[in-house]
């Protein structure tokens, strides 16, 4: 069964108006279930953890259920492999500090020019602090794909850590993370994956990928401003956490410094419940594909993300057709519909005669919300030579967007082209 977009959109209060939200790579709208969970937490269970009274026990139960749900979403081997934090960036800086204790002067670290800066600067700063060498992996500027020959050259230096994105937040490219992880492990490197841009668009299975760490931000998949990190339990157990002295010594608690964003984490549980509903309602065609490996909520979440992925192929085809049909528009990254499976529906373009900011402002006047600039993918815009010209326009539909919204974007862009 294909997605019933009208039914899906009814789950998102913000979508009741006329605004076309194509700013989703920077943050999606939230579902009714997320709002319900937040409100329920604040009204019924608002207390700090590990107390000897009812609301504290209820708060503990909500956080534990959210952690278990995120473990199911990632297919982690146990809930204790899930660490909550403010966002992907903050979690990565925190873990770079812990991982720095394992680094020595002269050690090698690998980052890529296709990544968001949150998966670059924490590691380059760690390298500076510890006297490590940084190796950069390049990408093909013609199609936005990571150059595996450049990765092989970097791996020849036996790095201790490889940081890579699952999907580019600028160009939409999906990297072959499983292959990259195996290549890195073959030379003894740990692998840290930024899955922020991929998480709203497809199934994640950290056990199949084999990565050591994987992190995303839940506000990119219909929830609250909370970061969700997976780490192999043996690594989390061995790593030193920077924390106050009375705090827990066992993972994941030892990494969740201070009082957590409880209501935000409750909202993450709401998002998982929404996605589980997607799986049960629209994902039955994928049951056979996943039922041998997954059961219960894990099965429904994989079915949900597969159904979302399939629908977004249609959206991506519409976006490619629209952008390529407008005079003066230059797209960046994969723009061949035959390679649609190699990308998420995150697109970047420039337009002759207009700065990206001007395009974004004109679209905003038409209630079409998009981003302009570099979206913290500074290495990408520098490599493409567009940073000094204001970067690019970024449009990023998700599964609640309709094809007619893409057509409306095309109408406005065509009007701009004719000015």
User: What is the per-residue pLDDT across 78-137, written as a single tens digit (0 to 9) for each?
Assistant: 999 999 999 999 999 999 999 999 999 999 999 999 999 999 999 999 999 999 999 999
pLDDT band of residue 1 (cuts 50, 70, 90) is low
Structural contact between residues 201 and 398, judged by C-beta atoms closer than 8 angstroms = yes
CA dist., res. 419 & res. 406, Å (int): 20
CATH topology of domain 34-272: 3.40.640
> Comparing 162-166, 211-215, 253-257, 274-278, which segment has the lowest mean pLDDT?
253-257
> Which pTM was predicted?
0.97
Average pLDDT over residues 231-255: 93
Taking alpha carbons only, the member of 55, 183, 191 closest to residue 63 is 55
Task: Pull the structure tokens for residue 294.
Answer: 């997954």
CATH code of 7-29+306-417, in short, is 3.90.1150.10
Instruction: Find the helix or strand (DSSP H, E) in which 110 lies.
Output: strand 108-112
- The residues, ordered by sequence, that sit 6+ positions from 57 with a Cβ below 8 Å of its Cβ are 51
Do domains 7-29+306-417 and 34-272 share one topology? The answer is no
pLDDT tens-digit profile of 300-356? Answer: 999 999 999 999 999 999 999 999 999 999 999 999 999 999 999 999 999 999 999
Q: Cis before residue 252, ω within 30 degrees of 0?
A: yes
Question: What is the pLDDT at residue 245?
Answer: 85
Instruction: Find the helix or strand (DSSP H, E) in which 380 lies.
Output: helix 378-384
CA dist., res. 408 & res. 39, Å (int): 35
C-alpha distances out from residue 406 to 245, 370, 401, Å: 53, 12, 8
Domain residue spans in the chain? Answer: 7-29+306-417, 34-272
Give SS3 for 87: coil
Taking alpha carbons only, the member of 290, 81, 93, 90 closest to residue 206 is 81
């Amino acid at each position: 069964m294909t997605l019933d977009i009208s039914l899906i959109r009814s789950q998102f209060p913000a979508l009741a108006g006329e605004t076309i939200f194509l700013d989703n790579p920077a943050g999606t709208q939230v579902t009714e279930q997320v709002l319900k969970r937040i409100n329920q937490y604040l009204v019924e269970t608002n207390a700090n953890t590990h107390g000897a009274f009812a609301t504290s026990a209820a708060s503990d139960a909500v956080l534990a259920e959210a952690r278990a749900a995120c473990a199911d979403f990632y297919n982690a081997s146990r809930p204790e492999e899930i660490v909550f934090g403010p966002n992907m960036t903050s979690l990565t800086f925190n873990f770079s500090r812990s991982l720095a204790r394992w680094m020595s002067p002269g050690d090698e670290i690998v980052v890529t020019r296709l990544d968001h800066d949150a998966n670059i600067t924490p590691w380059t700063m760690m390298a500076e602090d510890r006297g490590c060498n940084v190796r950069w992996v390049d990408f093909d500027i013609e199609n936005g794909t990571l150059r595996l020959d450049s990765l092989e050259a970097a791996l020849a230096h036996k790095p201790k850590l490889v940081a890579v994105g699952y999907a580019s937040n600028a160009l939409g490219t999906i990297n072959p993370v499983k292959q990259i992880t195996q290549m890195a492990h073959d030379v003894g490197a740990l692998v840290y994956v930024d899955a922020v841009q991929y998480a709203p668009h497809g199934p994640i299975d950290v056990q199949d990928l084999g990565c050591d760490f994987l992190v995303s931000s839940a506000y990119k998949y219909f929830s609250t401003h909370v970061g969700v990190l997976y780490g192999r339990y043996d690594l989390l157990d061995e790593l030193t956490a920077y924390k106050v002295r009375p705090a827990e010594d066992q993972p994941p608690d030892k990494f969740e410094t201070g009082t957590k964003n409880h209501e935000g984490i409750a909202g993450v549980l709401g998002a998982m419940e929404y996605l589980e509903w997607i799986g049960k309602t629209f994902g039955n065609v994928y049951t056979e594909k996943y039922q041998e490996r997954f059961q219960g909520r894990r099965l429904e979440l994989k079915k949900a993300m597969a159904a979302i992925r399939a629908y977004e192929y249609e959206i991506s085809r519409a976006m490619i057709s629209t952008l390529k049909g407008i005079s003066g528009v230059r797209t960046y990254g994969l723009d061949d519909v035959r390679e649609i499976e190699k990308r998420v529906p995150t697109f970047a373009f420039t337009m002759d005669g207009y700065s990206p900011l001007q395009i974004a402002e004109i679209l905003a006047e038409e209630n079409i919300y998009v981003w302009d600039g570099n979206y913290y993918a500074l290495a990408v815009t520098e490599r493409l030579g567009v940073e000094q010209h204001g970067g690019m326009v970024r449009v990023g539909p998700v599964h609640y967007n309709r094809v007619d919204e893409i057509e409306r974007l095309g109408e406005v862009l065509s009007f701009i082209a004719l000015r």
